[in-house]
Structures are given as C-alpha cells and as structure tokens.
Amino acid sequence: MTRTACVKSLLFSLLLFFLPTAAFAAAGPIDLTSTTTGLVALVVFTLAYILVMGEEKLHLRKSKPVLVAAGIIWVLIGISYVANGMPDEAEGAFRHTLLEFSELMLFLLVAMTYINALEERRVFDALRAWLVRKGFSYRSLFWITGGLAFVISPIADNLTTALLMCAVVMKVAEGHGRFINLCCINIVIAANAGGAFSPFGDITTLMVWQAGIVKFNEFFTLLIPSLVNYLIPAIIMSFFVQQHKPETAYEAVEMKRGARRIIVLFLLTIASAVACHSLLHLPPVLGMMTGLGYLQFFGYFLRRTLPKSLERKRAIALQKGDEEALNRLGGIVPFDVFNRVARAEWDTLLFFYGVVVCVGGLGYMGYLHMLSTTLYTDLGATYANIFLGLASSVIDNIPVMFAVLTMEPEMSHGHWLLITLTAGVGGSVLSIGSAAGVALMGQARGYYTFMGHLKWAPVILLGYFASIATHMWLNAASFHVMG
C-alpha cells in the first residue's frame, strides 16, 4: 500500500469529526463524541491508518496498527461505560461487532483457501500459459484480459483476478510500458466492475449480502451497470492500443491432479452458501464452512490415492521415454488442505478485523450518526451514495461500506444497490482506490503508476457516472421499494 493512501484515514476521520451531532440508533446510550475519550479515539484511529498507508516505506504489516487501535478504542469505551455503571452495554456492543466480523472472516477464509488450492494445482498458471501461446495481438490481448477479469472476478475476487491477468500482460508485452499501463488500468476497472455484481467479487458486496440487505439474485440487477462501467473506458482506451502482434512465447504448464474437481467443489461450495442463505435463512458462512469440509475430504482422497496415481503416470512416462515427466513426478507432494489454509491472506483478514472493530467502536461512540445525518439527511441518499463511491477511491471502501451498514440509513432498495455499485467501482478512479490497483502497482512496478492511471481518470469517471445513470434507469422501480 502506498503512502498516498494516508489521505484515506485523514479525510475519513476529519469527516467524522466535523459533522453535526444527531440521535442515531447505531450509537451507544452515552454520547462520547464531544468528550476527551472520543477525541483520543479519533486520533488513535487516524494515527493507525497513517501507519497502514506507510506500509511500503516502514515495512510494517498493515494489520498491526489497526489491531492495536481497535483494542485502545474499545478499552476507552469500556472505561467510560464502567465509570457510568453500564459495563454490560459495552460488552454486548463489542460482542455484536465481533460476531459480524467472525462470519465474514470465516467466509473469506474458505474462499481464500479454495483460491490457494486452485493456485497450487496450477489452474491459473495453465490459463496464463494458454493465453500466451495463442499469440493474440495487443488489442486482442487488451480485450481478452479485461473481459476475463470482468468474468472471473465475480467468483475468484477482484484482487486474485487482477494479479492473474497482469501476469499474462507482463509475460507477453515485456518492455512495452505504454501498453502494460493501459492494460493494467483496464484490468483494474474490469476486476472492480465484475466484483460489484456478485457477493463473492469483493469484501464490500459480501458484507452487504451477509447483512441480508441485498439477496443473492438481486446483485445481478447490477450486471448491466457494471458492464457499462467497464466498457465505456475500455472502448475509449482501446483506440490507443496498437494492433501489433507480440512474439509468441511458449510455456508448458500442466495442471496438477484434481484441479478440475476442485473447481467443481468450489462451485458446489458457493451453491451451498447460497442455498443456506436463500432457502434456509441461515448464515451463508455455514455453507462455506461445509464446503471447506468438501475440500478436506477430497484432499484425503488425493493423498490416499497418490501412490497408485504416481505408479500409473510413471509407467506411462517410461513407455514414452519422457524423462522430463519422470522428473516432475519426483517433485510431487501430497495435497494438504491445512497448508492452503495457512497460506490465506492472514494480514488482510486481521487488517479487516481491526478496521471493522475500530469503525464499530467509533460508531458506538456516536460518530457515525453524524455522518448519517449530514450525508443521508442533508444531501439525500442518491448524492450521498455517489459521494461515498467517489470517496472510496481515497478512503478504503471497507470502512466506508461498514460505516454505511452500521448507520443503516433509511433508504430504498434501489439506493442500497446504488451504494453497493458505487463502493465497488468507485475505487477504479485512482490506482490506490482498490486492492487490485495497489497490487498491480507492485506487480508491474515502473510500468503501471499512480500518474499513469490518473491521466485516464476523466474517462474512468465517465464510466462511473454512466453506470449510475444506467442503474437508475434500468432499476427505477427499486427506488420506490424500501430496503
């Protein structure tokens, strides 16, 4: 994460600080906004986020400062409530916040485990090698990587998808900086747009689905607006891509045993989560954890049958005289599910915990009702959601969405879909506005830069506002239905 993102914390904290007070349901019974305790909590949160944004320079993992800040904020709350003879109130509020995070964390942990399993089975490497071997022109590659990013991100999350597509571009167009920059911008827009119409595409959409505000099938009403958000800037940028054909590079990649069956199990796990939530009205995390059991049983099967599989492949390799295949067989290790769990993005998960608990604490102190009053009462839901979408390119979209869900402003179903859309695609405006953009600046260092992305911001904004207009036109009826 770049130092530029320190502005995210400052703007968010200052916005909370200078807003007028009003009664709000998410706040606790004691208003701490005008007290020394409340101000100290804001300062702690701001300092923690500044450290988060200096991660690259300080080499300090982003989870550490927010974990400490979360603890300090809730200790301050606990001290205030004990002093006022209401310790049970603070305990109940923290447990509620922790429960919300726990469901999301377990859900994300299973999804990350499956993605890691697919990566270990070389599914993504095989896809990349296939694209490289085909020898597409630069313009074709521009559209293929963007299109695949849009299609894959609803299932595999926008960050993983963006990294995969960027790897393809870097392999094929090595040294062509202008093309790599355009492709990376296109991939970031496509991955964020694709993740906006699926509960699995981004943490923010998952939060909305887990909260029960938008049903699984209702996310797909955002498909056309999301497509518009991707296509408008992509069409304009494509005119600046050369038609030259790069030299074809050949790379032999063979998926490991069980790769296709793990893909099927992942889809079955998603179906289980959807069925639990939609049909049984149980938390979707139940279906995801059951799906982790599917993967564990399959891992057991792969381990038990590995010796026979190796014997069969060795016999085939000897018959063909394929020494390279024999060498590859010698390097095969059994599939281990818990190894995949251990390789999950624990820093991201713990950072997510810190953000959720910090924002939950600030909300309990009373700060979020200030934000709700100014934005949703004074500005109105439409302008508030558009503004928060743009703010997510500066302020991380996770605390933005969690703040909105905590505030629970009274607005129509169409407006809830609108904030889901804008929080998902608004981060594309700046390279630092989404996890996909930040990751690609590291992967394509020197080619894809903040300024290189910023030059295309007007075109991206055109797609942003066009997607909002499309949603408000296609889903006009939903703006009359209260969420």
Rounded distance, CA 21 to CA 31, Å? Answer: 9
pLDDT grade for 482, boundaries at 50, 70 and 90: low
In a domain, 448, yes or no: no
* Two tokens, residue 213: 């505000």
Rounded distance, CA 483 to CA 480, Å? Answer: 9
List, in sequence order, the alpha helices (H) in 158-258: 158-172, 177-195, 203-210, 223-238
What is the pLDDT, as a whole number, of residue 56?
Answer: 59
Question: Residue 113: pLDDT above 80?
Answer: yes
In a domain, 427, yes or no: no
For residue 298, give the amino acid letter.
Answer: F
Residue with tokens 């009274």: 410
Identify the three-state secondary structure at position 309: helix
As a whole number, mean pLDDT of residues 258-263 equals 88
In a domain, 300, yes or no: yes
Question: Residue 20: pLDDT above 50?
Answer: no
Angle, CA 337 vertex, CA 332 and CA 341 arms, to 5°: 120
Contact indicator for 347, 62 with CB cutoff of 8 Å: yes
pLDDT grade for 318, boundaries at 50, 70 and 90: low
Residues 140-155: pLDDT tens digits?
889 999 999 999 888 8
As a whole number, mean pLDDT of residues 320-341 equals 57
Rounded distance, CA 327 to CA 93, Å? Answer: 58
Question: Residue 248: pLDDT above 70?
Answer: no
What is the pLDDT, as a whole number, of residue 118?
Answer: 83
Which uninterrupted H or E stretch holds 16?
helix 6-17
Q: Which neighbouring-strand residues pair with 412?
A: 482
List, in sequence order, the alpha helices (H) in 121-157: 123-133, 138-156
Q: Which neighbouring-strand residues pair with 482?
A: 412
Question: Residue 73: pLDDT above 50?
Answer: yes
In a domain, 320, yes or no: yes
In a domain, 483, yes or no: no
Question: Residue 255: pLDDT above 70?
Answer: yes
pLDDT grade for 172, boundaries at 50, 70 and 90: confident
For residue 31, give the amino acid letter.
Answer: D
Contact indicator for 434, 162 with CB cutoff of 8 Å: no
Rounded distance, CA 200 to CA 43, Å? Answer: 34
Rounded distance, CA 46 to CA 270, Å? Answer: 37
Rounded distance, CA 316 to CA 314, Å? Answer: 5
DSSP state of 482: B
In a domain, 280, yes or no: yes
Q: What is the pTM of this model?
A: 0.69
- Cβ contacts of 111-116, under 8 Å, gap ≥ 24: 111/157, 111/200, 111/288, 112/344, 112/345, 112/349, 113/292, 113/295, 113/337, 113/340, 113/341, 113/344, 114/262, 114/265, 114/266, 114/269, 114/291, 114/295, 115/156, 115/157, 115/160, 116/340, 116/343, 116/344
As a whole number, mean pLDDT of residues 68-96 equals 90
For the chain, the domain total comes to: 1
Residues 200-243: pLDDT tens digits?
777 788 888 877 888 888 889 999 999 999 999 999 999 998 77
- The terminus-to-terminus CA distance of the chain in angstroms comes to 35
What is the pLDDT, as a whole number, of residue 457?
Answer: 92
What is the pLDDT, as a whole number, of residue 427?
Answer: 86
In a domain, 301, yes or no: yes
What is the pLDDT, as a whole number, of residue 55?
Answer: 62
What is the pLDDT, as a whole number, of residue 253?
Answer: 75
Q: Which neighbouring-strand residues pair with 110?
A: none
Neighbours of 159 (CB within 10 A): 24
As a whole number, mean pLDDT of residues 125-130 equals 78
Percent of the chain with pLDDT over 90: 22
Mean pLDDT of all residues in the chain? Answer: 80
In a domain, 213, yes or no: no
Written as one string, the DSSP assignment of 382-404 is HHHHHHHHHHTTTS-HHHHHHHH
As a whole number, mean pLDDT of residues 48-60 equals 73
- Domain of residue 261 covers 257-334
Contact indicator for 415, 472 with CB cutoff of 8 Å: no
